[in-house]
A and B are shown apart, each in its own frame.
Chain A
Amino acid sequence: GNSVTQMEGPVTLSEEAFLTINCTYTATGYPSLFWYVQYPGEGLQLLLKATKADDKGSNKGFEATYRKETTSFHLEKGSVQVSDSAVYFCALSGFGNEKLTFGTGTRLTIIP
């Protein structure tokens, strides 16, 4: 079946540091890939997505590229802010599949 493996947390960085959160997946065919973010006390919200190989999703300074050859969708940001502190979830939706498969989440804390 489908599965998502993402980097264990928690991750703590200083403001303006470079961020990478690794995500790899297992799926048949060509799934759609997502990053969702959960701010404290809130539900998840979509951060970015990519629907085919080599697509790059981007939003709020975050980027992730769909790499089929390495089955990866790593999340990056060049300069993080305190307001980026949240839990980040990588997820996939397989072709013809009725559900999202989530990774376990990575808690990110940015210190001033």
Chain B
Amino acid sequence: NAGVTQTPKFQVLKTGQSMTLQCAQDMNHEYMSWYRQDPGMGLRLIHYSVGAGITDQGEVPNGYNVSRSTTEDFPLRLLSAAPSQTSVYFCASSTGGSPAYEQYFGPGTRLTVT
């Protein structure tokens, strides 16, 4: 099993550009989520999904879109990048239907917006 994979590992964007961060898992997990990690703030939930076709907002969803067309993939789209979106982004998936179960994290994508 590859576990949770994320691409790209690093990305630099200019303000106003758009891009998609890719996330895939091969463990047949129903629950997937996106977090951003900022210094001194821990991890904050952006969006999550409890299964294919079902997504919902976390605590910091503004400026991001998600979709879940398959169990395996959960891409995160930045619509118009802003410097405030400079962060490290982690995708995670969970064995059960909620984060009360162990979450498996990808290696992260470090995004810089200039």
- How large, as a class, is the contact surface on chain B? 20 to 34
- Which of A38-46, A61-69, A73-81 is the interface stretch? A38-46
On A, residues with C-beta under 8 Å from B are 4, 32, 36, 41-46, 49, 51, 89, 93, 97-100, 102-105
Contact with A along B82-101 (1 / 0, CB 8 A): 00000000101000001110
On B, residues with C-beta under 8 Å from A are 4, 33, 40-45, 48, 50, 56, 58-59, 90, 92, 98-100, 102-108
- Report yes or no: B103 in contact with A46, Cβ–Cβ below 8 A: yes
A-B contact count (CB 8 A): 55
* Chain A residues positioned under 8 Å from B41 (CB to CB): 104
A58 → chain B closest CB, angstroms = 15
- Report yes or no: B56 in contact with A98, Cβ–Cβ below 8 A: yes
